[in-house]
Structure 1
Amino acid sequence: MPMDRQSADRALTGLGAAHDRIAAAMFVIDSHPGLAFLRGGGLAGRTAERAQTIAPEVDVLWAQFNALSDLLDRARAIRNQKRLGDDDWDALRLLVSEPVLAVDVAGLPIEAGSKAVATVLRVGDLATGLEQRCAAVTAHLSEVDTAWSAIAGNFAPLTEAFGKVAAQAEELGVGELARPLGERLDQARSDGLRDPLAAAPGGQPRPAVQTRLRELTAELDAVRQRVAELAALRDGYQTRLAALRTRLDEVAAAESRVRDAYAIVAEKIADPALPPPPDAAALLRTTLPGSGDVHTRQWVRLEKELNTLEASVARALAHADELREAADGLLDRRGELRGRLDAYRAKAARVGFAEDGDLSVRYQQAHELLFTAPCDLRRSTQAVYAYQQALAELIASTRGTS
């Protein structure tokens, strides 16, 4: 029975959409980092087996995808003719509905009359199978990439840290301290990356790999301890000293801002009860090591002094910021109370109590307290609250009598 226009168009639309999805999936596969890794060679174990199965499968996918593209192009060419005869409709139905693609046992397209034909696929089944196989291949590649990334990611920080330590050791003339560790690290990383599927299945390094990483990390720490005092302190001493001087200037400036804030508060707020203003910058400057101390090469002592001083400076700066915020907070509190009083008065006007005698007296009391310097925050808070309560009671009484 010939195919009608609606069923033909519906079938071609569905096949076209499937073709586009498969094309996108094939692009993902072709550009997948897992595929590039498997093609790189030098693999072993499960990962080598995966490479041996993925390579022919990708070849089959491309061959079947090309066949699907050809069948779809042929079907579209027929449908796009201006006039279709019965033979054209029969040909179109054959292409989109009947088995048309002969494949061998591996799934590769072959000539229909060949003795190696394993099955003949409908174009719809071909598209469905391709989508499923693309998804399966992508999942296998992602598994490889996840395992590879886990191994590489776990070794990367260790390798980077070792590179820095080894360079420092060479600079100091003690490179032999790092070289044996470098050989063991390279071997461990190489073992993991030759068969990541076995070393980190599901992206989780096996206990043996984790143990090896811990052992290598412990070795690196031992090497680092031998060179850190001679390298890190020597290279960073002047920079840290300059940074400390800058931070001490920041402390002095922060403490100056505290004193300014205290002066404003003393003028505008009664009995602020603030702690004494800080004066740590001057004392800390007396403990600052001198630039000439670098020539003593007493790196352990200097590092301890610098660490202690840096921590003290950080605490002093944080303390100054806290005190300034506390002082500013008192002024903010006064501003908040003023805003609340204005808002309550505006509300009283809206509900018709602007001229209420008792309410006006309470407003004047609160206003006078808030706008008198220095301001008594405790009494001002009580006065604003009293005004708000009186207004609330007036509103409630009005509602009760309505």
Structure 2
Amino acid sequence: MADRARPGSTAADRTVPGLTGVTAPAPLSRDEVDVAIVALGAAHDRISAAMYALDNHPGLAAVRVPGRTGRTERYAADLAAQIDALWSRFTALGTLLDQVRTLRAQRSRPGDEELAKLTWLLRAPMVPVGANGMVLDDAPPGAVRLPLMELARQLETGSADAIDRLSILDEAGSALVVRFGPPGEALARLRAAVDALGPDGAPTAACLL
């Protein structure tokens, strides 16, 4: 939706507080604010369900297994960083959505000042993120900042992608178990074979069975 400047306002007096050179979006109407809040709340609910599924995914345990090497280690490390960034962004989204809802609930018919604040929260690029995808607590000048709806959009696609990647990792681990057996059982068989060797390294009868 194109910006609609207030009568008598200019781009200079609609800058985002604390963000040099960033113009604040034109104020939304009360109905537009309510529609945006409903849409953002629905997105948050979908993301919440996806994050719950991610947190309970069987492949999550394999992400931080120590001792990996090569491509598997790089894949798992990259996926772990992606998941950490998703949680960081999800926390920020929930916090800001609560702020929006609290502000909107103060008056049934918000005035111009409340609408301007709500518009700023809903539309301004106010969530700073780093190169690693994490939300920044102390953002440097020039940091990338996302509006709430863009943050929600990226969270939806990112959580779905992370779940897919966890499934790939889980399927790869399951294939190894099918091929070689559970690691604990394989280690037990190895120890039994070592114990079956005689004191001089000669196999005993048990080792030959």
Tell whether the structures are fold-level matches, with TM greater than 0.5: yes
**3-state SS of the aligned residue for 1:39?**
coil
User: What code does the residue aligned with 1:99 have?
Assistant: P
Q: How does 1:3-402 map to 2 (within 5 A)?
A: 3-83=28-108, 84-111=110-137, 114-115=140-141, 117-156=142-181, 174-178=205-209
Supply the distance in 2 between the matched residues of 1:8 and 1:72 (Cα, whole angstroms).
Answer: 12
Residues 259-303 of structure 1 show CA distances to partners (whole Å, capped at 9, x for unaligned) of xxxxxxxxxxxxxxxxxxxxxxxxxxxxxxxxxxxxxxxxxxxxx
Q: CA deviation at 1:74?
A: 0.7
Supply the distance in 2 between the matched residues of 1:5 and 1:174 (Cα, whole angstroms).
Answer: 86
For these two proteins, the number of residue pairs brought into alignment is 169
Q: CA deviation at 1:2?
A: 3.0
Supply the distance in 1 between the matched residues of 2:88 and 2:152 (Cα, whole angstroms).
Answer: 12
Kindly indicate whether the alpha-carbon contact (under 8 Å) linking 1:96 and 1:124 is maintained by their aligned counterparts in 2: yes
**Equivalent residue for 1:306?**
none
Q: CA deviation at 1:123?
A: 0.6
| Moved >4 Å (runs of 4+) | none
Supply the distance in 2 between the matched residues of 1:108 and 1:7 (Cα, whole angstroms).
Answer: 30
Q: CA deviation at 1:10?
A: 1.3
Supply the distance in 2 between the matched residues of 1:34 and 1:3 (Cα, whole angstroms).
Answer: 43
Supply the distance in 2 between the matched residues of 1:4 and 1:147 (Cα, whole angstroms).
Answer: 52
Kindly indicate whether the alpha-carbon contact (under 8 Å) linking 1:101 and 1:122 is maintained by their aligned counterparts in 2: yes
User: What code does the residue aligned with 1:103 have?
Assistant: V
**Unaligned 5+ runs, structure 1:** 179-402
Over 3 Å counting, the alpha-carbon distance change for 1:136 and 1:87 in structure 2 is same
Q: CA deviation at 1:174?
A: 3.5
**3-state SS of the aligned residue for 1:120?**
strand
Supply the distance in 2 between the matched residues of 1:63 and 1:100 (Cα, whole angstroms).
Answer: 15
**Unaligned 5+ runs, structure 2:** 1-25, 197-203
Q: CA deviation at 1:67?
A: 0.6
Kindly indicate whether the alpha-carbon contact (under 8 Å) linking 1:67 and 1:109 is maintained by their aligned counterparts in 2: yes
Q: CA deviation at 1:113?
A: 5.5
Q: CA deviation at 1:71?
A: 1.1
Supply the distance in 2 between the matched residues of 1:140 and 1:95 (Cα, whole angstroms).
Answer: 33
Superposed CA RMSD? 2.6
Supply the distance in 2 between the matched residues of 1:52 and 1:113 (Cα, whole angstroms).
Answer: 25
Higher RCO (C-alpha 8 Å, min separation 6):
2
Supply the distance in 1 between the matched residues of 2:155 and 2:50 (Cα, whole angstroms).
Answer: 9
Supply the distance in 2 between the matched residues of 1:9 and 1:87 (Cα, whole angstroms).
Answer: 16
Q: CA deviation at 1:72?
A: 0.6
Q: CA deviation at 1:111?
A: 4.8
Q: CA deviation at 1:66?
A: 0.6
Q: CA deviation at 1:5?
A: 2.5
Q: Which protein has the bigger helix share?
A: 1
Kindly indicate whether the alpha-carbon contact (under 8 Å) linking 1:35 and 1:141 is maintained by their aligned counterparts in 2: yes
**TM-score with structure 1 length normalisation?**
0.39
Residues 219-263 of structure 1 show CA distances to partners (whole Å, capped at 9, x for unaligned) of xxxxxxxxxxxxxxxxxxxxxxxxxxxxxxxxxxxxxxxxxxxxx
Residues 7-60 of structure 1 show CA distances to partners (whole Å, capped at 9, x for unaligned) of 112111111111111111112222222221121212122111112211221111
Q: CA deviation at 1:112?
A: 6.9
Supply the distance in 1 between the matched residues of 2:63 and 2:129 (Cα, whole angstroms).
Answer: 26
User: What code does the residue aligned with 2:206 have?
Assistant: G
Kindly indicate whether the alpha-carbon contact (under 8 Å) linking 1:105 and 1:118 is maintained by their aligned counterparts in 2: no
User: What code does the residue aligned with 2:88 have?
Assistant: A
Supply the distance in 1 between the matched residues of 2:127 and 2:104 (Cα, whole angstroms).
Answer: 20
Supply the distance in 2 between the matched residues of 1:148 and 1:139 (Cα, whole angstroms).
Answer: 14
Supply the distance in 2 between the matched residues of 1:92 and 1:147 (Cα, whole angstroms).
Answer: 47
**3-state SS of the aligned residue for 2:135?**
coil
Q: CA deviation at 1:176?
A: 1.1
Kindly indicate whether the alpha-carbon contact (under 8 Å) linking 1:101 and 1:112 is maintained by their aligned counterparts in 2: no
User: What code does the residue aligned with 2:121 have?
Assistant: L
